[in-house]
Structure 1
Amino acid sequence: MSAETEEKHKTIFLVEDNKADIRLIKEALKNSLVPHEVVTARDGMDAMAYLRQEGEYANATRPDLILLDLNLPKKDGREVLAEIKSDPKLKRIPVVVLTTSRNEDDIFYSYDWHVNCYITKSRNINELFQIVKGIEEFWLSTATLPRE
């Protein structure tokens, strides 16, 4: 892989417990013009182990973008967000909350913890695809992301 190709390759860390949403989000990203890899964690404990490169994740790739659901088993997405943004090694990784919650407390909490963006998932498949494409265009093509 050339240095130019390597520099363009992005890692998206999808923290989502719903198998159908994982499948749909991956499908929406399938025809991306930006070379990328989608890595998933289905609960908050695995998400933090991956991000901290613990145990089986010792060689995990640092993600360029985190898509985080708030309603997760084992460790809630709110806790995951707080841990990410409190950790000097992780806090600069952009986090987009992608959740079904429209609760104002969740929105305020997320922004209090410096989430980069809060997006409510649509149950309409075409709208969800449009949302994911917008995330991809902005965060992987337009925004300048911090390097490790």
Structure 2
Amino acid sequence: MDSREPNMDGVVDILLVEPNPGDTRLFSENFKDAKLLNTVHSVSNGELALEFVHQRNEYEDAPRPDIILLEPQLPGTSGMDVLAELKADHSLADIPVVILTSSDMGEAIVKRHDLEADCYIRKPVAPEEFVEFIRSLEEFWFAIVKNPAEE
């Protein structure tokens, strides 16, 4: 298997946790144009994100995400609560979590909660910024796939 392939079929299952439908649409459209072979699954809040990763209710047949893109400011269960639960659950802790920050303060806010994500990427605002966002995400993903944590 090529070291850049995340699983047997090479498809990267991405869970996007984003409350804004317009942003979700932009993310999904731009991922389709990316070179990285992927499937984007999206949910709009923290409760649904946890149901997805735990494969509960309507998500019982959902794939285990290879990577999670998490907006920290979510309605209901916050992104910080989602991140805390992911990192506390040994069966989920190895899923890379990318915090989508909307400002330079985003990383500081997450760390203030005594949490640590795998990566922080500034959320694109303008459509042309998505190209750079996708490149940053691909670089992060390939670094993880090429240099997996030692077991």
Q: Residue 20 of structure 2 aligns with which residue?
A: 18
Task: Give 3-state SS (helix, strand or coil) of 2:58's partner.
Answer: helix
Q: Aligned partner of 1:135: which letter? A: L
Q: Residue 127 of structure 1 aligns with which residue?
A: 129
Aligned residues: 141
Q: Does residue 90 of structure 2 align to residue 69 of structure 1? A: no
Change (3 A) 1:31 1:105: closer
Is contact 2:34-2:134 (8 Å) kept? no
Pairwise mapping of residues 13-52 of structure 1 onto structure 2 (< 5 A)? 13-52=15-54
Separation of aligned partners in 1, 2:139 and 2:32: 13
Separation of aligned partners in 2, 1:128 and 1:36: 16
Change (3 A) 1:86 1:73: same
Normalised to the residue count of structure 2, the TM-score between the two structures is 0.82
Q: Does residue 144 of structure 2 align to residue 143 of structure 1? A: yes
Normalised to the residue count of structure 1, the TM-score between the two structures is 0.84
Q: Residue 104 of structure 2 aligns with which residue?
A: 102
Pairwise mapping of residues 83-98 of structure 1 onto structure 2 (< 5 A)? 83-98=85-100
Name structure 1 gaps, 5 residues minimum: none
Separation of aligned partners in 1, 2:26 and 2:135: 12
Separation of aligned partners in 2, 1:109 and 1:50: 26
Change (3 A) 1:25 1:119: same
Q: Aligned partner of 2:12: which letter? A: K
Write out the 4+ residue segments of structure 1 that deviate beyond 6 Å after TM superposition. Answer: none
Q: Whose helix proportion is higher, 1 or 2?
A: 1
Q: Aligned partner of 1:15: which letter? A: V
Name structure 2 gaps, 5 residues minimum: none
Map Cα deviations across residues 68-109 of structure 1 (whole Å, 9 max, x no partner): 000111111011011111111100000000131433641424
Sequence identity (%): 37
Task: Give 3-state SS (helix, strand or coil) of 2:9's partner.
Answer: helix
Task: Give 3-state SS (helix, strand or coil) of 1:143's partner.
Answer: helix
Is contact 1:66-1:95 (8 Å) kept? yes
Cα displacement (A) at 1:142: 4.2
